[in-house]
Amino acid sequence: MRTGFTVSVLLGLAVASVLAASAPWAALMLRNQQVSPVLRALAAGFVLSGTAVVAGALLRRRLDFKPQFFIEVVSYVLGYGAITCALALRGYGVWSLVIGSLVQTLIASVAQLVYVRHSIRPCLARRELEQLLHFGVGSAASACVNYGRSTRTTSSSDAPSESSVSASTTGRTR
């Protein structure tokens, strides 16, 4: 568990660093310099959510969905419902969404860590890391293949014919 926690935090840091470093490029592509600081701020969310990956996985493994549901609902109500709306009403604009998102992620991550109570002491044990990566690479590859299959474009033979569409909308067959 400690290795999984450490890896998820490190991956969160890595993704956040890449997003923060590429923020100026994204702002250039979108021709809006205001995008860069927003992306840099949102990058912190990857670090925060990385701390809760193991706790969320343990809840799912135990099939303990009730606390997960409660944590998600409360964090969304407080983060987006309360914080975002209050800041938006005070004129914070896009920053109300950024701050609300980060608050929601922080509340959810802390709540999961408090509820599950696993060790958060960093550790990179070689054997555990090999097992984790062996399973993780296979799981990620499977998810990619399944995603690719689900997003495949339909061929013309799979598409409904004009007569079947007409019949379903008018109630008559041709």
CA distance 89 to 67: 31
Tell me what pLDDT residue 136 has. Answer: 65
Q: Which of 38-42, 61-65, 136-140 has the highest mean pLDDT?
A: 38-42
157, pLDDT greater than 90: no
Among 28-32, 33-37, 60-64, 110-114, the range scoring the smallest mean pLDDT is 60-64
Tell me what pLDDT residue 150 has. Answer: 81
94, pLDDT greater than 90: yes
pLDDT tens digits, 18-54: 999 999 999 999 999 999 999 999 999 999 998 898 8
163, pLDDT greater than 80: no
Tell me the Cα Rg of the chain: 22
Q: List all residues 6 or more positions away from 51 whose beta carbon is below 8 Å from its beta carbon.
A: 5, 8, 9, 12, 109, 113, 120
pLDDT tier for residue 169 given thresholds of 50, 70 and 90: very low
CA distance 136 to 16: 20
Q: Which residues of 30-64 are buried (b: 16+ CB within 10 A; e: fewer)?
A: eeeeebbebbbbbbbbbbbbbbbbbbbbbbeeeee
157: DSSP letter: T
pLDDT tens digits, 143-156: 778 878 887 754 44
Identity of residue 70:
F
Q: What integer is the mean pLDDT of 79-94?
A: 96
CA distance 149 to 80: 34
pLDDT tier for residue 79 given thresholds of 50, 70 and 90: very high
CA angle 119, 124, 128 (to 5 degrees): 90
Specify whether the CB–CB gap between 156 and 35 falls below 8 A. no
Average pLDDT, the chain: 83
Tell me what pLDDT residue 155 has. Answer: 47
Structure tokens at 120: 């958060």
172, pLDDT greater than 70: no
